[in-house]
Amino acid sequence: MDKKTGIVADKIKKSKQLIVFTGAGISTESGIPDYRSQGGIWDKFQPVYFDEFMASEKARIKYWQQRVDMEKSLSVSKPNIGHESIARLYELGFLKTLITQNIDGLHEESGIPKEKIIELHGNTRRVRCMTCKKLISWDKAQVMIDAGDQAPICSCGGFLKPDTISFGQAMPVEETQKAAMLSSKSDVFIVVGSTLLVQPASLMPEYAKNAGAFFVIINLSETPYDNVCDILIRGKAGEVLKEIVSKVNSA
């Protein structure tokens, strides 16, 4: 790992358009399970597809139960050394854009400004009405749930849903286009903690690689891009990123 983190640090120091792209694996060290690892969310729950959510109250109740269950880990989670190391790369002036598939808001909490973060799959700390599109905070939705509402409804009568992208739901156009455009202009592109199985998010590294970026993957398990990347580091995000940042900091 030592030699590889040194090469990555060197590339970061020379970069002009560094992008870090994160998935659920950056947040497991904050106590939030990922989807696909053993013990991950899909071991416990079946996903609720967007059309099911819109069509059936039973599906909406199931979806909200999953969200309430996630709150147990989300409410006590804090950015970990991995998030903090990426924030440090921003403070040092190297990180230009952070693209995340995560919905937990921990990158913003770690100190990266909102405008430097592209959330491809939304953010579960806010809730949106599917009819009038109004946003409310998670806390307001929590009050409704605590009052016994199993699938809260907006004052306009529309279904309220955590503001995240479910399977089968359209991607946010602006965020997806911006992420694709910036990825294809990056010169160093670092993936952290993602299986790179969910499209179109997983196409971003491909755009970067095709445009000639130096492509790094830091992940505990295999990805379909392991043979394509320039450096593959099979390690824990927090430890690896900490080591990279300490090398970026050293002369």
Catalytic positions are 121
| One of 62, 107, 121, 209 touching ligand NAD (CB under 6 A) | 121
194 binds ligand NAD (CB under 6 A): yes
Residue 189's nearest CA partner among 5, 28, 1, 8 is: 8
81 binds ligand NAD (CB under 6 A): no
Concatenate the DSSP letters of all residues of 26-42 into one string. Answer: GTGGGT---SSSTTSHH
Q: How many CB atoms lie under 10 A from the CB of residue 112?
A: 24
Residue 17 or 102: the one with the smaller Cβ distance to ligand NAD is 102
Residue range at the interface with ligand NAD (CB under 6 A); choices 2-10, 87-95, 153-161, 215-223: 215-223
Q: Residue 159 is which amino acid?
A: F
166 binds ligand NAD (CB under 6 A): no
Task: Say how far apart CA 5 and CA 231 lie, in whole Å.
Answer: 9
Owner of token pair 């390690």: 235
| One of 89, 98, 103, 154 touching ligand NAD (CB under 6 A) | 103
Q: Residue 31 is which amino acid?
A: G
Residue ranges in contact with ligand NAD by CB under 6 A: 23-25, 27-29, 32, 34-37, 40-41, 101-104, 121, 193-195, 197-198, 219-221, 236-237
